[in-house]
Amino acid sequence: MKQNYIIRAENLSIGYDNKIIMRNLSFDIPKGDIFIIMGGSGCGKSTLLRTLTGLIPAQSGKIWIRNIDFIKARKKEKLEIMKHSGILYQSGALFSSMTLAENVALPLQQYTKYSQNKIDKIVSFKLALVGLSGYENYYPSEISGGMRKRAGLARALALDPEIVYFDEPSAGLDPVSSRNLDDLILEVNKTLGTTIIVVTHELPSIFAIGKNSIFLDKTVKTISAKGNPNELLKNPPNEQVFEFLTRGVKHEKRTK
């Protein structure tokens, strides 16, 4: 694998049990990229994300992460890769019985030998990074949905990961909160150089933050487009991509 790529998928097939949802997926994610996994509902976007993060096994093919064959890697190697990765789930997935500070501190307590004093300093820094300074002792139920997403991001960033995965980050947010989260993703990518991988169907986010993307096409059960989303909008390679990227826009049927 080329050194400038942090993730490479080769002829990857994904699904559950013996059911294949997508097949022959091949793509590269460069270091420092903001990479969008997009497609219609039920096309396998979240399944691909879960496969990339090791939550479910691949049906076939290869995944290279940090020059390691992730599928065949030993448990210790996989754990090391996962320590360099963070995940922000749709709901934020914060523990309701823990304060924001306790939520962010959890991975530091589990995976480092830092003193409590150092952990407290890191937690304060990460919460400040996402605009939540002063909210350390708040519980998830005491803050808005957008703030919970930002707190979830602070926890995902706790271990200074090289890669952060986002599963529908704008789900359930109003347009302003969604835009603010997009701005935060751009800032994290720019200032920390973090590779961002986002599963989403939200067009404003796709066009605002996406540097590269793949389109999972249910009609052919594989990738039917790759590239910058704005460029794909200008020159859609097929009808499915055109329809997806122009949803809500009145237009005449394209002629093939």
The lowest-confidence range among 15-19, 153-157, 161-165 is 15-19
Q: How does residue 3 score in pLDDT terms, banded at 50, 70 and 90?
A: low
Q: Is residue 116 part of a domain?
A: yes
Q: How does residue 173 score in pLDDT terms, banded at 50, 70 and 90?
A: confident
Q: Is the pLDDT of residue 2 over 80?
A: no
Average pLDDT over residues 176-194: 93
Write down the mean pLDDT value for the chain. 91
- Residue-wise pLDDT for 70-86, tens only, equals 999 998 888 888 888 99
Q: Is residue 19 part of a domain?
A: no
Identify residue 123 by its one-letter amino acid code.
Answer: V
Please give the share of the chain, as a percent, with pLDDT higher than 90: 78
Q: Is residue 69 part of a domain?
A: no
Q: Is residue 103 part of a domain?
A: yes
Q: Is residue 206 part of a domain?
A: yes
Query: Which ranges constitute the DSSP H helices of 87-131?
Result: 100-111, 116-129
- For residue 191, the domain's CATH number is 3.40.50.300
Query: In angstroms, how far is CA 188 from the centroid of its own chain?
Result: 13
Q: What is the pLDDT of residue 255?
A: 46
Q: Is residue 172 part of a domain?
A: yes
Query: Which ranges constitute the DSSP H helices of 132-228?
Result: 145-156, 175-192, 203-209
Q: Is the pLDDT of residue 215 over 90?
A: yes
The candidate with the shortest Cα–Cα distance to 147, out of 160, 158, 136, 157, is 136
Identify residue 38 by its one-letter amino acid code.
Answer: M
Higher pLDDT, 25 or 79: 25
The values of phi and psi at residue 152, to 5°, are -60, -35
- pTM: predicted TM-score of the whole model, two decimal places: 0.91
Q: What is the pLDDT of residue 252?
A: 53
Q: Total domain count for the chain? A: 1
Q: Is the pLDDT of residue 190 over 80?
A: yes
Q: Is residue 20 part of a domain?
A: no
Q: How does residue 249 score in pLDDT terms, banded at 50, 70 and 90?
A: low
Q: Is residue 176 part of a domain?
A: yes
Rg of the chain on CA atoms, in Å: 19
- Residue-wise pLDDT for 89-145, tens only, equals 876 678 999 999 999 999 999 889 999 999 999 999 999 999 999 999 999 999 998
Average pLDDT over residues 24-39: 97
Q: List the domain range (segments joined by +) for residue 171.
A: 32-50+84-245
Q: Is the pLDDT of residue 251 over 90?
A: no
